[in-house]
Amino acid sequence: MTERTSESALSNDYSKLSEQARSFLQGEKQLFINGRWRSARRGSTLPVVDPTNGREVARIADAAEEDVDAAVEAARHAFESGPWPKMRPHEREQLMLRLADLIAAEIQPLAEIECVNSGKLIGNTRLFDAELSVHTLRYMAGWATKLHGQTMDLSVPYLPDQRFSGFTRRTPVGVVAGITPWNVPLCQAVWKLAPVLATGCTLVLKPAEQTSLTAIRLAKLCSRVGIPEGVVNVITGRGSVAGVALASHPGVDKISFTGSTNVGRHIAETAAKQLKRVSLELGGKSPVVIAPDADLDIAIPGAAWAIFGNNGQNCCAGSRLYVHTSIFDRVIEGVVKIADEMQLGPGLDPTSMMGPMVSVAHRSRVVQFVSSAVSAGASLLAGGDILPGPGAYLRPTILMGTPSDHDSVQQEIFGPVLNVFRFNDDAEAIRLSNDTRFGLGASIWTSRIATATRYLEAFRAGTVWINTHNILDLSLPFGGLRDSGIGQELGQEGVLSYTQLRAVVMRQ
Ligand code: NAP
Ligand code: MG
């Protein structure tokens, strides 16, 4: 394989873009508030950069407090009056299905926009941003008509002469602030939007500053299907300004946040002071354990893709690999080979196997973890080097011999960096696996049911995978333990977290 090094070979070729994606990129990007498009009140904008070449491809509005106020006010108004609260569940379901159809008709341009904006591969943005958004809306649309309470025959023992019955109702929590990260932008936006629509809440969405384009496109599609004005509002801008204003806004009833643990902690503090509901999908440092009896034909590529999929910019990335000493050399040789053979290149080129990181600034942070690990005694088995030029490329990197308490083992790197370790017995592998503050995902690779059972009980993680990694499904609640967050997204628990239970007592 010949390494691509020239700037042009590493840069997206915009002549490959569809006409729809091209004209969207060229058009003005504004805030979407109360069903209308408008600039930030102060008129400021922020650049949107293609990470394959560092070029500005668009500008977005840079919202400030007054814009957030207007969006929350619109969402509050739409929640309390107008057509939305009167709409029946099946009407909300139909709107969601129509929105899913519109996205389905725009898969290619949406995937292209996401690809140019995030640096991810077009195959990835197609599957995990555009297509998964369609599946999410269709799955969640079904919930709109299935949000029931219960009925009870009440005892009320202190009033023996009277009879009562009781029932519970599921009602929408109200105005939701959805704050999302840059690694799976459209999908994360829809993971907030879909339960909001299914339950009858309203939304102010604040996408990540680096990757807001598909959320803006999504707002356009919402207005086209006839979702009433004010139900969905999109505020672009900086987390430190618009994000803070949104999370602390007294008109918000629930914050649904996906992002880093540090920001999540701030949001939890804000929510606690105002007694707002909050769900936090935060970072991870997920272990991958390969037992001596594992099928290595699946475990070796499985371990490589657990970390290198989505360029390691994945909350569940398998960033710590523990391999039994009896198979260690063979596994590591296989994973290193996959890393070495990975063709880096721009996302629009279908032959690229890994794109750049989301930004040069983020890559610098990732590289800092690697050089610090090497200074602490780690050896580099693969990668560690950046590609020349303005793109944010980093070769897939494998470290061995990093001390267990080093930051690169304990902290989330959010890049294509794997630390590998050997273990002698299950007790040691379990102890090491659980030895971080995170608890998002963990995988065990084995052909023995007894081994799988032992690990699935012992791992401290919100999701445990057996002979696979990173598999999420819309019907399966997803969430983390400890520093990986609070609450769940998706599945029944995810949708119910956008409702509140109310009790009714009726005298017979
Ligand atoms: P981030 O820096 O925490 O930002 C996430 C979002 O919060 C962005 O929209 C950001 O805006 C905004 N924000 C920043 N500071 C804020 C504040 N003080 N108050 C309110 N909002 C604020 O995370 P990221 O760098 O975008 O994404 C990477 C992180 O997301 C990783 O830690 C990853 O593990 C996590 N993640 C978790 C999951 C999961 O489901 N568990 C899924 C995907 C990603 P700006 O972009 O303008 O800063
Ligand atoms: Mg950030």
pLDDT, tens digit, 9 for 90 and up, residues 45-54? 999 999 999 9
Q: Are 430 and 287 in contact (CB under 8 A)?
A: no
Token digits of residue 29: 């990007």
Q: Helix 132-143 and helix 185-199: axis angle, to 10°?
A: 10
User: Quick check: CB of 483 below 6 Å from ligand 1?
Assistant: no
pLDDT grade, residue 2 (50/70/90)?
A: low
User: Quick check: CB of 241 below 6 Å from ligand 1?
Assistant: no
Residue 444 C-alpha to ligand 1 middle, in angstroms?
28
Q: Are 197 and 140 in contact (CB under 8 A)?
A: yes
Q: How far apart are CA 277 and CA 176, in angstroms?
A: 9
Q: What is the mean pLDDT of residues 177-184?
A: 98
Residue 243 C-alpha to ligand 1 middle, in angstroms?
10
Q: What is the mean pLDDT of residues 211-228?
A: 97
Q: What is the mean pLDDT of residues 339-359?
A: 97
pTM: 0.97
Residue 58 C-alpha to ligand 2 middle, in angstroms?
19
Nearest to 178 by CA among 84, 81, 278: 278
Q: What is the mean pLDDT of residues 401-418?
A: 98
Q: What is the mean pLDDT of residues 445-470?
A: 98
Exposed/middle/buried for residue 207 (C-beta within 10 Å: 0-12, 13-18, 19+): buried
Distances (CA, A) of 40 to 33, 45, 73, 74, 242: 10, 8, 16, 15, 11
Token digits of residue 72: 């929350």
Token digits of residue 142: 């079904």
Mean confidence (pLDDT) of the chain? 97
User: Quick check: CB of 416 below 6 Å from ligand 1?
Assistant: no
Distances (CA, A) of 485 to 128, 191, 268, 361, 474: 22, 16, 10, 25, 19
Q: Are 78 and 86 in contact (CB under 8 A)?
A: no
Q: How far apart are CA 212 and CA 60, in angstroms?
A: 8
Q: What is the mean pLDDT of residues 333-344?
A: 98
Exposed/middle/buried for residue 500 (C-beta within 10 Å: 0-12, 13-18, 19+): middle
User: Quick check: CB of 112 below 6 Å from ligand 1?
Assistant: no
Instruction: Tell me: pLDDT of 5 over 90.
Output: no
How far does Cα 205 stand from its chain's mean position? 14
- What are phi and psi for residue 57, nearest 5 degrees? -110, -10
Cα angle 482-488-490, degrees, rounded to a multiple of 5: 150
Cα angle 372-374-379, degrees, rounded to a multiple of 5: 155
User: Quick check: CB of 412 below 6 Å from ligand 1?
Assistant: yes
Please state whether beta strands 164-172 and 175-179 pair in parallel, antiparallel, or not at all (unpaired).
unpaired
Token digits of residue 299: 């475990």
Cα angle 414-419-422, degrees, rounded to a multiple of 5: 150
Which positions ≥6 away from 128 have C-beta within 8 Å?
A: 184, 187, 310
Token digits of residue 331: 């596994």
Instruction: Tell me: pLDDT of 3 over 80.
Output: no
Q: What is the pLDDT of residues 138-172, one digit of tens each?
A: 999 999 999 999 999 999 999 999 999 999 999 99
Instruction: Tell me: pLDDT of 85 over 80.
Output: yes
Looking at residue 408, its pLDDT comes to: 98
Q: How far apart are CA 234 and CA 63, in angstroms?
A: 10
Token digits of residue 96: 């969601």
| Torsion sign over Cα 345, 349, 350, 351 | negative
Cα angle 179-143-214, degrees, rounded to a multiple of 5: 35
Q: What is the mean pLDDT of residues 494-504?
A: 98
Q: 12-282+484-504: what CATH class?
A: alpha beta
User: Quick check: CB of 22 below 6 Å from ligand 1?
Assistant: no
Residue 263 C-alpha to ligand 1 middle, in angstroms?
7
Q: Are 384 and 374 in contact (CB under 8 A)?
A: yes
Q: State yes or no: is 28 an active-site residue.
A: no
Token digits of residue 38: 């408008």
Looking at residue 233, its pLDDT comes to: 98
Q: How far apart are CA 344 and CA 304, in angstroms?
A: 15
Strand residue runs (E) in 91-216 = 151-154, 164-172, 175-179, 202-206
Instruction: Tell me: pLDDT of 121 over 60.
Output: yes
Q: How far apart are CA 174 and CA 177, in angstroms?
A: 10
For residue 9, give the H/E element and its range: helix 7-10
Q: What is the pLDDT of residues 262-315, one digit of tens each?
A: 999 999 999 999 999 999 999 999 999 999 999 999 999 999 999 999 999 999
Q: How far apart are CA 111 and CA 122, in angstroms?
A: 6
pLDDT grade, residue 392 (50/70/90)?
A: very high
Instruction: Tell me: pLDDT of 108 over 90.
Output: yes
Which is catalytic among the residues 281, 316, 412, 489?
281
Taking the CA of residue 247 as reference, the ligand 1 atom at the shortest distance is 20
Residue with tokens 């990540």: 208
Looking at residue 6, its pLDDT comes to: 86
- What are phi and psi for residue 69, nearest 5 degrees? -55, -45
Which residues, listed in sequence order, are joined to residue 486 by a DSSP beta bridge? 280
Residue 192 C-alpha to ligand 1 middle, in angstroms?
14
String of b and e for 132-169 (b: at least 16 CB within 10 Å)? bbbbbbbbbbebbeebebeeeebeeeeeeeeeeeeeee
User: Quick check: CB of 182 below 6 Å from ligand 1?
Assistant: yes
Which is catalytic among the residues 187, 222, 315, 316?
315
Q: Are 481 and 439 in contact (CB under 8 A)?
A: yes
Give the residue extent of every domain in the chain: 12-282+484-504, 287-474
Q: State yes or no: is 315 an active-site residue.
A: yes
Q: How far apart are CA 177 and CA 246, in angstroms?
A: 7
Residue 65 C-alpha to ligand 2 middle, in angstroms?
19
Looking at residue 1, its pLDDT comes to: 55
Instruction: Tell me: pLDDT of 389 over 70.
Output: yes
pLDDT grade, residue 224 (50/70/90)?
A: very high
Residue 209 CA: which ligand is closest?
Answer: 1
Q: Are 216 and 180 in contact (CB under 8 A)?
A: no
Q: Helix 89-104 and helix 213-225: axis angle, to 10°?
A: 130
- Of the residues 67, 184, 315, 484, which should be mutated to test ligand 1's pocket, given the most ligand atoms within 8 Å of the CB? 315
Residues in the chain, total: 508
Distances (CA, A) of 56 to 18, 52, 256, 294, 364: 19, 11, 30, 47, 19
Looking at residue 382, its pLDDT comes to: 98
Residue 260 CA: which ligand is closest?
Answer: 1
Looking at residue 7, its pLDDT comes to: 86
Nearest to 125 by CA among 55, 51, 186: 186
Taking the CA of residue 480 as reference, the ligand 1 atom at the shortest distance is 41
- Of the residues 118, 182, 413, which should be mutated to test ligand 1's pocket, given the most ligand atoms within 8 Å of the CB? 182
For 287-474, the fitting CATH number among 2.60.40.420, 3.40.30.10, 3.40.309.10, 3.40.50.11540 is 3.40.309.10
